[in-house]
Structure 1
Amino acid sequence: MSSTSERWFGAGHSTAADSAKAGAEAAAAAIAGRTPAAVFVFTSGGHDPAAMEVAVRELVRAEASGAVVVTGTGFGELSPAGATEHGVAVAAFGGPGFTVRAHTADVGALGARAAGAEAATAMTEMMAEVDAHHSVLLLLADGEALGPHEIVRGAYSVVGAAVPLVGGLTTGGSGRVVGVAIGSDRPIGIGVAHGWRPAEPPLVVTRATGGRIYEFDGEPALDVLLRRRGVTGTAADLFQGGVELCPVGLARRTGLDIRSLHGGDDEERSVFGTAEIQQGALVWLMEAERDELVAGGPAALRAAVDGLQGAEPLGALAFDCGGRKLTLGEDGTAAEVAAMRAALGRPFAGFYTLGEIARIRGAAGLHQLTLVALALA
């Protein structure tokens, strides 16, 4: 746990088999008898997230205390205790100067953009109540719903450029997006890092629709990737049945945003991923050694702490990509968490996502194969 002048941040972790017990154990460790403003419950397959959230709400007496409790499911969870699957990691914070509000929207009923906008009303509600010097909108959105980039755009349409966005895309098909508005009288820092580096030369996306690319530089996209990767055969050979990911860097004014291609069509010679890559975009194939990817985790935390303007960090939330976890393997993931623990020296908790959200400048904010960190002071 960590505290400064009665403000605090705690993290807990449990691998108990029973969902309610695991949630209560991890939450009790994170809260340590204090009254939280917010509790984030991160879990993965094999657990009942609803039962877990009920147990946590009962523990913190959420209805009476006004604590915001939200749950996100992914490909695993991480904290200073390590990275696990089928466990739970909990982050909680509280103390004077924090204000937290949450709003949930149904993606299926509203559509992606409208759901993002609806979830973002958590921020307008909070701003109507308090004059927070620093604020951020955290989004936990169903990553299996269509148009996750539209969710981010919808949220941006409500909060505008002055409010940064962070968060992650969840697994489990919840069909919802949860917006959590966090206000603070002290700085809030956001860090984004991945460890990938571009391989020259770049490619122009000459034909694409949504997340499917048909042509690079006027050639069939699958043929280009097979040649550039030195693979002979089919899309299944290139992507190894979805196990092997192909990261590409999408040119932005602030650098390269990572997108993940994970499949192809041998008949139409296209390749595809879950995130939109627009026709006309300039992209690079990305590559990295294991140590470079491991370094991405602590780099994101350090960048988030740098955003605190010299204030002492209490702790951090971490949104790491499930694709990075797959690429790093068990040993690499353990090395990354150990490096994060050493770099921050404070509690942190998070989960392995279907995609990461970080919008600091501009309207775009969806990332893949990246780690996004939110640091509080």
Structure 2
Amino acid sequence: MIIQVCSEGRLEAAEKIARSLASDPRVKSLLILGCDGNEWTKEEADPLFQSLPVPVFGGIFPQILAGGKNLEKGTLVAGLRHPVKPFVIKDISRPETEPEDALEDLLSGEDFSSATLFVFVDGMAKRIAELVEGLFNTLGLEPNYVGGGAGSLSFNQKPCIITPEGLLMDAAVLGLSEVSSGIGVAHGWHPVSETIKVTASSANRVLSLNWKPAFDVYREIIEKHGNVSFEKTPFFDIAKAYPLGIARMGAEMVVRDPILTEENALVCVGEVPEGNYIHILNGDMDSLIKGAVEARNTASASYRGEEKNPVLFFMDCISRVLFMGDDFHREIQAVEQGSVTFGALSLGEIANTGDAFLEFYNKTAVAALLGDACEP
């Protein structure tokens, strides 16, 4: 793997790197991670992605991770020594789209045994959990999965998925690779409420909890626990420290990030199915870093590749960065452990751990050791 970064975010600089790497005979495919702060437009970016001589996939994220730092502007281009076959699924949010049927048609005839599947999806799409469930129902646990939600902290939906067709919105790109990998997932949040039933929800909107308006229940618990006031403080400034945790039998809770309120409903990144049971969660710097290290250690324990110096591909939720602030570098340092590390700070994370159900997470750290050594 050859990793190059341009920190100024200009498309011209990214294009120069991408074309240079694509012409290197060692490079069989390109993974491109860009920052929303680059302000690329579809009209400007499409000619680049459509004309590259090797397969390209990736996304535009709130921030990217490179050289031990989180960048708000810049682009990382990774030239991969193994071929990656991209598959694109569009119009995720449209009611007439049947993700599982579309995936079966798209992926039929491919060999996913012992594969790694990169999954990048528009983080503001409304049916991400259905897509992920359809992916699991189609492929099961044959491949290792790693990826996350692309998009902007403005929470305005815009083209953010990088594909050979160009920059797409309301879409996902799946990158099928034969690279060996080890995956770990953990978050470090803990419950601060009793069990709460989701009594009404619609896609990513939680309408009622315990038969009461969702925001009223959420606000009462948090204001009592944290001695804070939603009337005096912007919603997300408080909510970033109090995600929802969906209970999973014998497994880590799946975290959901409330990002805003609409008419006493909680709007989350990802679905919260009606009838599920949740907790309101909280954490601190030490518990979150401990969770990230647990993800890294799980990835190390499950890695079976022949490459002795695998790179660390790290997908971490942007809201963890907002929660940690200037101390986020402590988490990066804790997970690197001597490995070349790169990744994205995302709107939700996608992963499995080999023997567990595939999930779309929020506020969670996903570590993937990839058996493709970094080269100059």
TM-score normalised by structure 2 residue count: 0.79
One-letter amino acid of the structure 2 residue matched with residue 367 of structure 1: Y
1:137 aligns with 2:137: no
Quote the Cα distance in structure 2 between the aligned partners of 1:122 and 1:182: 16
Greater mean deviation of Cα atoms: 358-367 or 187-196:
358-367
Shift of 1:203: 1.9
Aligned partner of 2:35 in structure 1 is: 44
1:107 aligns with 2:104: no
Cα offsets for 1:253-303 (capped at 9, x unmatched): 2221111112234xx543231321122222111111123223333332222
Aligned partner of 1:296 in structure 2 is: 291
- The RMSD of aligned alpha carbons is 3.2
Aligned partner of 2:265 in structure 1 is: 270
Aligned partner of 1:5 in structure 2 is: none
Asked whether the equivalents of residues 198 and 278 of structure 2 are also in contact (C-alpha less than 8 Å), the reply is: yes
3-state SS of 2:133 partner: helix
Asked whether the equivalents of residues 317 and 347 of structure 2 are also in contact (C-alpha less than 8 Å), the reply is: yes
Show the 5 A alignment for 1:199-210: 199-210=192-203
Shift of 1:125: 5.1
Greater mean deviation of Cα atoms: 74-83 or 38-47:
38-47
Change in CA separation of 1:31 and 1:83 when aligned onto 2, cut-off 3 Å? farther
> Unpaired segments of 5 or more residues in structure 1?
1-8
1:197 aligns with 2:197: no
Show the 5 A alignment for 1:93-242: 93-94=80-81, 98-107=82-91, 114=98, 118=102, 124=108, 126-127=110-111, 134-171=114-151, 172-173=158-159, 174-184=169-179, 187-230=180-223, 237=232, 240-242=234-236
Asked whether the equivalents of residues 122 and 149 of structure 2 are also in contact (C-alpha less than 8 Å), the reply is: yes
Of 356, 359, 370, 1:376 maps to 370
Of 298, 322, 326, 2:318 maps to 322
Count of residues in Structure 1 that have an aligned counterpart in Structure 2? 347
Of 26, 37, 44, 1:35 maps to 26
Aligned partner of 1:365 in structure 2 is: 359
Asked whether the equivalents of residues 269 and 362 of structure 2 are also in contact (C-alpha less than 8 Å), the reply is: no
One-letter amino acid of the structure 1 residue matched with residue 215 of structure 2: L
Shift of 1:205: 2.0
Shift of 1:27: 8.4
TM-score normalised by structure 1 residue count: 0.79
3-state SS of 1:252 partner: coil
Change in CA separation of 1:85 and 1:279 when aligned onto 2, cut-off 3 Å? same
> Unpaired segments of 5 or more residues in structure 2?
152-157, 160-168, 372-376
Which has a greater percent of helix?
Answer: 1
3-state SS of 1:326 partner: helix
One-letter amino acid of the structure 1 residue matched with residue 28 of structure 2: A
Show the 5 A alignment for 1:51-90: 62-63=52-53, 67-90=54-77
Quote the Cα distance in structure 2 between the aligned partners of 1:290 and 1:52: 38
Quote the Cα distance in structure 2 between the aligned partners of 1:355 and 1:177: 13
Which has a greater percent of strand?
Answer: 1
Of 237, 240, 257, 1:243 maps to 237
